[in-house]
């Protein structure tokens, strides 16, 4: 029997198709730069690369939205920021890029007035005493930076120790709540848990309450990158070698790039949510562990009408330090209309984690009981409540990072240091601006430039790579099916 040349051709093609399908990793994509996380740091880095004509970029985001912890939702017919809400230190030069965006977009809000306070005790009595506030400012707030400078080179210790050395001691409920308002409300941790060398004098802040949301200020960053952003991509493994970085996701995809930028929170980096291969070195893990995530829980409440004091901040001097201590009147000019009936209560640390672990109804019942002891039983019931559970969210594991005792300059260098072709950015990697939007923005820009420097000019032509997508694999499969359909015809012809 003589086999026709047509059969030989078909069998050869089938062999080649089979090899293509078996040797190509299923669902793989190749690109020049991978950005892991579509928050402010990731998007700023990607835009920095794009501005340098590096367009072969892919952004992987685990959530179903971009912006990360810069995130607004609709609540009681208003847009509320469940993450970042302030532009802090508006007079600092590093804040200028963010401030320029605020001004260019005419963002609605107001300058925070931390002197517009009223203090009430558990009985509802007005116990406001500005002498206590002045004492804290005179002993701590206005002198802490000079005091730290004098101790440069000496061992670190808890902020509580430093505050005691500077002559401050909080014993009464009013002293505790004034301290909380100036310390925990900023650091999201009590003085016992914070590095003394990380303290600073509070600056001028701007509270944003704009219906478009803070993320709209960064539209010029994320809008041009929409087609390069994949949402709902849960990263499970990051593998690195001397030539590339491979990222695997829970849906079975594998992404390979020449360079990758990781913008995960310090909480995610410290967890086992993502496997690093090889494992992160101990010097990097130590730095990550020293800059853990904090719990900062903003409880938004909607009432039929405003019944509380007409001050920007109302402080609750409970005998239990940290129990619903800071209330912010949102029903005032510059934020929401007076008729909005919106109140914001902030809790932090262990109390924040407790609140985030219970239901909205349980929290509302606690708050209503407290408010009725202060303003009377005839006050209206809250008709709505919302708080975001950042500490319970696997992809954040907290609100923002804050250094603990013992964090050194070397640790700050290590936390942001790249591992070969794998780079790191985000607020947690910024020595000067950890915990703030400036940290995310500036480190994203810095690492974007660093990666761009590594890519030679000949490789920045702007031609994107050709991904081996599911569509490509489907075409190969279709080719195999077509050849199988032709096979009988070839066998018929082999006798002729």
Would you state the torsion angle of the CA atoms of residues 361, 366, 371, 374, taken in this order, to the nearest 10 degrees? 170
Give the pLDDT score at 26. 52
Give the pLDDT score at 152. 87
CA distances from 255 to 77, 84, 421 (A): 41, 31, 14
Grouping H, G, I as helix, E, B as strand and the rest as coil, residue 406 is: coil
Token pair of 473 as six digits = 């694999």
Which helix (H) or strand (E) segment holds residue 75: the answer is: strand 72-75
Go through the domains of the chain in sequence order and give each one's CATH number. Answer: 27-70+212-291+402-455 (3.50.50.60), 115-201+296-392 (3.90.660.10)
Give the pLDDT score at 482. 42
Characterize the bridge pairing of strands 342-348 and 326-329: antiparallel
For every residue of 154-171, DSSP letters joined together read: SPP-BHHHHHHHTT----
Distance (Å, whole) CA 421 – CA 245: 7
List the one residue out of 186, 44, 58, 35 whose CA is nearest residue 101.
Answer: 44
Which helix (H) or strand (E) segment holds residue 256: the answer is: strand 254-262
Is residue 450 within 8 Å of 323, Cβ to Cβ?
no
Give the pLDDT score at 10. 42
Distance (Å, whole) CA 489 – CA 492: 5
Phi first, then psi: what are they for 329, rounded to 5°? -75, 110
Give the pLDDT score at 318. 98
Three-class HEC string of 269-297 = HHCCCCEEECCCCHHHHHHHHCCCEECEE
What sign results for the dihedral spanned by CA atoms 396, 398, 400, 402?
negative
CA distances from 321 to 136, 263, 343, 350 (A): 17, 34, 21, 11
Give the pLDDT score at 488. 42
Ranges under pLDDT 70 in the chain: 1-26, 456-496
Phi first, then psi: what are they for 430, rounded to 5°? -100, 115
Give the pLDDT score at 268. 98
Helix then strand count (H, E) for the chain reads 16, 21
Distance (Å, whole) CA 322 – CA 348: 7
């Amino acid at each position: 029997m003589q086999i026709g040349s047509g059969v030989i051709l078909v069998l050869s093609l089938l062999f080649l198709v089979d090899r293509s399908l078996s040797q190509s990793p299923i669902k793989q994509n190749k690109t020049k730069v991978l950005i892991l996380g579509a928050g402010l740091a990731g998007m700023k880095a990607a835009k920095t690369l794009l501005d340098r004509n590096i367009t072969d970029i892919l952004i992987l985001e685990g959530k179903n939205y971009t912006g990360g912890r810069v995130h607004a939702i609709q609540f009681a017919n208003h847009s509320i920021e469940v993450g970042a809400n302030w532009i802090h230190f508006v007079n600092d030069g590093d804040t200028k890029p963010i401030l320029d965006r605020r001004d260019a977009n005419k963002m609605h809000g107001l300058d925070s007035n931390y002197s517009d306070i009223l203090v009430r005790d558990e009985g509802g009595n007005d116990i406001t005493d500005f002498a206590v506030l002045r004492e804290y400012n005179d002993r701590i707030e206005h002198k802490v930076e000079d005091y730290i400078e004098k101790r440069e080179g000496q061992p670190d210790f808890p902020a509580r120790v430093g505050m005691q050395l500077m002559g401050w001691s909080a014993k009464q409920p009013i002293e505790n709540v004034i301290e909380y308002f100036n310390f925990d409300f900023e650091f999201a941790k009590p003085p016992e848990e914070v590095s003394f060398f990380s303290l600073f004098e509070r600056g001028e802040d701007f509270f944003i309450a704009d219906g478009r949301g803070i993320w709209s200020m960064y539209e010029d960053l994320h809008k041009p990158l929409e087609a390069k952003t994949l949402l709902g991509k849960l990263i499970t493994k990051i593998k690195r070698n001397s030539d590339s970085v491979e990222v695997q996701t829970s849906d079975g995809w594998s992404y390979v790039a020449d360079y990758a930028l990781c913008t995960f929170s310090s909480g995610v980096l410290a967890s086992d949510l993502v496997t690093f291969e090889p494992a992160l070195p101990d010097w990097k893990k130590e730095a990550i562990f020293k800059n853990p995530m904090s719990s900062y829980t903003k409880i938004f409440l909607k009432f039929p009408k405003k019944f509380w004091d007409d001050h920007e901040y109302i402080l609750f001097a409970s005998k239990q330090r940290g129990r619903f201590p800071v209330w912010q009147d949102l029903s005032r000019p510059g934020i929401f209309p007076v008729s909005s009936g919106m109140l914001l209560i902030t809790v932090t640390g262990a109390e924040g984690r407790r609140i985030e672990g219970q239901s909205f109804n349980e929290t509302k019942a606690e708050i209503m009981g407290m408010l009725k002891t202060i303003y009377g039983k005839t006050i209206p019931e809250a008709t709505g409540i919302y708080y975001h559970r950042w500490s319970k969210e696997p992809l954040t594991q907290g609100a923002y990072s804050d250094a603990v005792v013992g964090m050194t300059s070397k640790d700050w260098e290590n936390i942001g240091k790249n591992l070969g072709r794998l780079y790191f950015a985000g607020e947690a990697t910024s020595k000067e601006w950890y915990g703030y939007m400036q940290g995310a923005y500036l480190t994203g820009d810095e690492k974007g430039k660093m990666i761009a420097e590594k890519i030679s000019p000949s490789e920045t032509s702007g031609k994107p790579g050709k991904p081996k997508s599911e569509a490509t694999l489907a075409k190969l499969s279709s080719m195999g099916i077509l050849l199988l359909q032709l096979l009988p015809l070839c066998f018929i012809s082999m006798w002729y």
